[in-house]
Amino acid sequence: MQKVYLDNAATTQVREEVIAKMQEALAEHYGNPSSTHSFGRTAKTVVEKARKTIAKTLNAQPSEIIFTSGGTEADNMILRCAVRDLGVETLITSKVEHHAVLHTAEELEKEFNVTLQFVDLDENGTPVLSHLETLLKQDDSKKLVSLMHVNNEIGNILDIESVAKLCHENGALFHSDTVQSIGHYPWDVQTVPIDFMVAAAHKFHGPKGIGFAFIRKNSGLKPFIFGGSQERGFRAGTEPFHNIVGLEEAFVKSYENLQEETRFVRGLKQYFIEKIAEKIPGVEFNGLSGDMGKSTYTLANIRLPFDKQKGLMLLFHLDMKGIACSKGSACQSGSNLGSHVLTQILATEELEKPSIRFSFSKYNTKEELDYAIDVLKEFAES
């Protein structure tokens, strides 16, 4: 049976170079970075080199990069600390954010009695910036805006420069879940006045369990995890040295090969859009995922012209044929609940039809896409 992995928005295949670097780190550099002997100093030097590498690429300062276990922890940390330490009274977000942001915001509303507000969405699921401006000007409370750069389910790209400018002009803090864009898009935190952003290595061919937060210098945030002095005292705990090495290598390779790999993966998505529309009449694209200019080049979220009963068997059928993809995000694929993102933008009758997210990487081929589309066509005609 052919095996085809098309769930790269959930996680990606680790690059061979990353695996090699991590194996070397595990075998040879096992000192604790906090130890003062030579083993520890060697490890500490490598950790700080990784921090400097990431900072340079983002045009940030090394002190603004804090290593975390991934995007979820970083989102939780930033939102919670902003409310706790900076006097944030109003959280402004949208109903199509990742649950790492939505559930955290809901908990903060209960725990700290902050006001939780949602930006209106247009018919495609993109935040309406005129409404955001209205919310920002509504009162004088201390505000934090949290809007993701690239939506992990429907691929919509936020005009992040305009959002950052609006927040800056109105004295609001701006946090963005950039998990789906770091490693896939160029970044310069000096030209985009963003206060906080997050990354997860496994979204750009690195290991799971490691990521980072960008926290603007002099933000005022206080320690999130207490204990040792790691991460400048902000996040205690022995650094996962081998994972940081893997993160750095994946980050470096992503940006070294960014233009070439973007062009290749963009070509795959364009091919997928054309072929599936040709082979399966009536297929539709959710959000802006079918628009090459307004959505990320890494995924397409399609709605198939099947009834609900037939749709119940679709993912099982694809899995039996060796095809990995996802209904909505992988984070909720084990749940009986539908996609909270699609619920916001689709009518009831549209939600009855099965929606599938296919996401692409440098390791995919057009032949794999042909196979996946043919399997879908065969299923549609069965």
Nearest to 5 by CA among 373, 376, 367, 361: 361
Judgement on whether residues 127 and 195 belong to the same structural domain of the protein: yes
CA–CA gap between residue 181 and residue 209 (Å, rounded): 18
Judgement on whether residues 76 and 135 belong to the same structural domain of the protein: yes
The pLDDT > 70 percentage for the chain reads 97
Judgement on whether residues 41 and 109 belong to the same structural domain of the protein: yes
Judgement on whether residues 142 and 202 belong to the same structural domain of the protein: yes
Concatenating the DSSP letter of every residue in 105-128 gives HHHHHHHH--EEEE--B-TTS-B-
pLDDT in tens, 133-143: 999 999 999 99
Instruction: Please state, rounded to an integer, the average pLDDT across all residues of the chain.
Output: 95
Judgement on whether residues 205 and 112 belong to the same structural domain of the protein: yes
Annotated catalytic sites, by residue? 331
Q: Using pLDDT thresholds of 50, 70 and 90, give the confidence band for residue 336.
A: low
The pLDDT > 90 percentage for the chain reads 91
Judgement on whether residues 123 and 158 belong to the same structural domain of the protein: yes
Domain final position from 240, 256, 272? 256
Residue-range definition of the domain harbouring residue 278: 4-12+258-381
> Quick one: average pLDDT of 151-176?
98
Judgement on whether residues 57 and 149 belong to the same structural domain of the protein: yes
Judgement on whether residues 153 and 209 belong to the same structural domain of the protein: yes
- Residue recorded with tokens 């539908």: 338
Instruction: Report whether 268 contacts 369 (CB < 8 A).
Output: yes
Domain final position from 256, 275, 307? 256
Q: Which residues partner with 127 through β-bridges?
A: 121
CA–CA gap between residue 161 and residue 229 (Å, rounded): 34
* Domains identified in the chain, total number: 2
| CB neighbours of residue 352 within 10 Å | 14
Domain final position from 213, 235, 256? 256
pLDDT in tens, 196-252: 999 999 999 999 999 999 999 999 999 889 998 899 888 999 999 999 999 999 999
